[in-house]
Chain A
């Protein structure tokens, strides 16, 4: 199997889906001739032309709205937000139109809205956000946030083929962080299924996207201290794989949720509530959270590093949790 980066994996998924289905079109800012700010759509224009790879004006609302209208005629548009931070400019269209269309009017919107997200690259407060929870909280949307190249390809294919609108977050730190083996050709990863990245019996660390790698790094340190952590990668935040969370907790009885999103009303809160409702008796300790601070993403490197979770913070919390 060839080794590729996440950018290449996403690009492969787009090429293969557009080859497979002429109803798949792409639109966004600078995605065509230029190939996208992160070169994700590089080469797409040369292969599929201006009718299928549409360079749009700087109009996030119009990009999302037009993608919605296109999907009403049976197309499967993949719209790009140049940085996912800009999805806020289209918040009304995403939450009031796209998300409600099927429930209210029986009008399915088989579109994908994808874009680079997350910090660690000193992009500053407007190019580093993790706004996924706005949309997890909006009924009608599916939210995907992969951590590996393999999953990025398989999940994007599933997202394109899904009949509901899917928000596909691509962590920009992971775009070119490493190469990994990704099968050539067609395969999918189902939406709504978490993955166990490391098995362990002492505690469970639940995470997603870039933080999955932080969790694995922390688990390596913890193993040296004799603490075996199980690491679960959610992959999809909506629908949330509650079964996978509860199954892991059943044998570890200790839960730590790690996310790069800010603390208040992050997915950790939802997971904690789920566990308290459904598996309170499985808990041997309170649920721990390691998250970003409740602040905007600061710009200067020392500030951003203090703001973000890292392996050190996870190890400290996990140690405390294991000894509780």
Chain B
């Protein structure tokens, strides 16, 4: 196979966020395969919609129209041994992981041949043994603690796997999301969380739920790394997922990826989404992930019209067979509803050990039950005087932890809980040189206009005449002109005091 040397596409318009540095160079054949999976995902769901209108779908139907690139791109970064937990709009990820479309059809139609034999619907099913798929439920956020456990167990067993799951902008407000992210972060678990920001949680815009525009900002609070990616660009998603997966596999997880996208349908089939402005649909329709990708492949001569037609025909041909299988499948035997509440010998449970068991049994595990405390937790002491900054503008700004370059892999610590962590230095050691002004700038409260907040005396409002009289006459901002002794360059940052 020859490597495709074509430069990576810039598919999104000017507002595209910067891409992570790491690149992938999928072959032309592999790039056409992404197109196949995108189409398989979309055409499968188109058929589900048709079946829904024919009354053949059991329960609700949730569309991933417009979000297919995230499912396909993210799952394509996984190896067969990696674990995947999809959400309701990630049928594409299941297809990439090897789930046959018939499983999706039969699940949605409540048939006996479905992976859950009719016990659960939609894409709620698991395949622990072979494809390493964990089932979603409808309680958003639950998968994050569960996949954290998967990642922790795999590491314990010596398996070099990564656990990947999804969450939405809506689901990222749940307590389970926070608890899971924090546990994963504190455990440094090999967990990749793809946060699909599709702008709408049912009928409520993301802006009314979370007061930050970029949900990836939350990663900073967990002390983990993150990236933001154009979710309608399958190669960009793949690239971001590859970086996250390889970092997690190297023991430097977890990782949060925010994929910006748009839910192009209502919450489910019953919902016409009249609350979404038409212009917003138009904007995103022009950035349809499949149209864009097909155009890109065509322009780069990676897929000609004939090849595209062949893939489209293959998709239809395969889906015909799979849908037919589902429609001809019987409904489950009603009596089977009473079976399977408990596992009474129907499953054998055994762990796949990839490390010597002697490593996790005494005497190897015998240790001292004490914490090693290197930081007493006091407020970081400021240096007595700001260090001289003759070249202040050139002083590199201290980076927040989540974008610091990865440290080289260290020898694994015997007890990751107890060993030295990246910590604050002990109190008697001078604090690291963080330019004071930058630190101050970060903590200065700002109003949306960038002005310093108005001081409102207790019990009095701006309409109070006495209050108005108290206000000092308007002045020029203090730093509008540099002080004559000030050797620094004038700042154009109005927020700075």
Contact = CB atoms under 8 A, between A and B. Distances in A.
A46 interface: yes
Interface in A71-110: 71-77, 92-93, 96-97, 100-108, 110
A67 B139 CA distance: 17
Nearest to B85: A69
Interface SS, B side: loop
**Most chain A beta carbons < 10 A, residue from B149, B156, B416, B418:** B149
B135 A96 contact: no
Given A47-B362, A49-B366, A140-B341, A104 B116 contact: yes
Contacts of B128: 72, 107
**Most chain B beta carbons < 10 A, residue from A43, A65, A104, A108:** A65
Given A32-B369, A57-B186, A102-B343, A66 B135 contact: no
Given A70-B152, A104-B119, A52 B369 contact: no
A77 to B, nearest CB: 8
Nearest to B371: A33
Contacts of A47: 362, 365-366
A104 B349 contact: no
A164 interface: yes
A173 B146 CA distance: 33
Interface in B132-183: 134-135, 137-139, 142, 144-154, 156-157, 159, 163, 175-176, 179-180, 182-183
Contact of B116 (A35, A62, A75, A106): A106
B183 A59 contact: yes
A151 interface: no
Contact of B142 (A74, A92, A103): A92
B340 interface: yes
Given A69-B148, A104-B120, A50 B418 contact: yes
Given A33-B369, A46-B368, A62-B179, A69 B153 contact: yes
Contact of A106 (B126, B148, B153, B187): B126
A76 B149 CA distance: 12
Size category of the A interface is 35 or more
A19 interface: yes
B182 A57 contact: yes
A292 B178 CA distance: 36
Given A47-B365, A104-B120, A140-B342, A69 B152 contact: yes
Contacts of A52: 156, 360, 365
A93 B342 contact: no
B145 A105 contact: no
Size category of the B interface is 35 or more
Contacts of A133: none
A72 B134 contact: yes
B489 to A, nearest CB: 44
Contacts of A56: 183, 186
Contacts of A216: none
Interface stretch (B23-31, B262-270, B350-358, B428-436): B350-358
Contact of B415 (A35, A49, A108, A163): A49
Interface of B: 115-116, 119-120, 124-126, 128, 134-135, 137-139, 142, 144-154, 156-157, 159, 163, 175-176, 179-180, 182-183, 186-187, 340-347, 349-353, 357, 360-362, 364-371, 414-418
Given A49-B365, A56-B183, A106-B347, 19 more contacts: A48-B360, A50-B417, A59-B182, A65-B148, A65-B180, A66-B180, A73-B159, A74-B349, A96-B139, A96-B142, A97-B139, A100-B137, A102-B343, A107-B126, A108-B346, A110-B343, A140-B341, A140-B342, A142-B342
25 contacts: A19-B362, A46-B367, A48-B362, A50-B418, A51-B156, A52-B365, A55-B417, A57-B186, A61-B175, A61-B179, A62-B145, A62-B176, A65-B149, A66-B183, A72-B134, A72-B150, A72-B153, A73-B157, A74-B351, A92-B176, A97-B146, A105-B126, A108-B346, A140-B341, A164-B343
Nearest 10 CB-CB pairs, A to B? A69-B149, A65-B145, A74-B351, A66-B149, A49-B365, A50-B417, A62-B179, A59-B179, A163-B343, A108-B343
